[in-house]
Amino acid sequence: MMPLIVAAVAAAAAAIAPQVAINAAMADSAAGWNAGDLARFTAIYAPDAVYVAGDKVVRGKPAIAERYARSFTGGGNIRGRLSFQPLAWRPLSAVHVLHVARWTLTPTTGAPQTGLTTLLFERRKDGWKIISDHSS
């Protein structure tokens, strides 16, 4: 009976570990946005990531960074403070996790903007990276 309990605990820990790592990566990405550090904000993306928003499909981390670059001026981010609220997780394999979160941009003046993002993460040698981002 004890080996089954140990196996169940190990399985639960393995399932939680990606969430902890991904939450940390998401928090660091938001901190990069808030500090006006584009490289830190986009460090969460894999080199071959795909980003979808509206009617645009952007391929590759450099193109994703270029899309966001206009928001980073004067040592900050002109669109407001970014935060994420995790909403759903779905492990797809040992190296893939689907994550749904609410993003919120809170400007210094005016109403906050918010939307949803569906992220496909892949565990790579350098950690969990976004390989697909669909944000609305």
Amino acid in position 27: A
What pTM did the predictor assign? Answer: 0.85
How many CA atoms does the CB half-sphere of 99 hold within 13 Å? 29
Q: How far apart are alpha carbons 123 and 136 in whole angstroms?
A: 24
With 0-12 / 13-18 / 19 or more C-beta atoms within 10 angstroms meaning exposed / middle / buried, residue 81 is: middle
Q: Per-residue pLDDT averaged across 82-86, rounded?
A: 96
Classify 68 as helix, strand or coil: helix
pLDDT of residue 5: 57
- Which H helix or E strand runs over 23? helix 2-35
pLDDT tens for residues 10-48? 444 455 589 999 999 999 999 999 999 999 999 999 999
